[in-house]
Amino acid sequence: MLPWMQLTFNTTLLMMESQSVIWTRLSQIALGRGTPAESMLMVTEKMAAFSEAMLTLAAGGSPQKVVRGYRRHVRANVRRLRKP
């Protein structure tokens, strides 16, 4: 697959996976099961992921590598948030 097609595919998957995390978190908040710790984590993890992405690019990493890193973090959130 061409590199730009692979990047497009992985970015689309990232978007869908991210929507799943957003939906789960908003549902928990709406049902009164959201915690202050989870709210704080929403902010701090975004700052950490952004820093990681910038360091990856500064070190010569590709946009594809950045998207893979974001997807790894998002998938970890999906698994964590879906636990009963």
pLDDT digits (tens, 9 = 90+) for 27-56: 999 999 989 998 899 999 999 999 999 999
- Residue 84 pLDDT exceeds 90: no
How many domains does the structure of the chain reveal? Answer: 1
On the 0-12 / 13-18 / 19+ scale of CB atoms within 10 A, 75 is middle
Alpha carbon distance 38, 24 (integer Å): 12
- When the pLDDT of each residue in the chain is averaged and rounded to a whole number, the result is 94
The pTM of the full predicted model, rounded to 2 decimals, is 0.84
Q: Comparing 1 with 59, which gets the higher pLDDT?
A: 59
Alpha helices per DSSP H over 1-84: 3-30, 36-58, 63-81
By residue range, what is the domain housing residue 76?
3-81
Among residues 4, 47, 46, the alpha carbon closest in space to that of 25 is found at 46
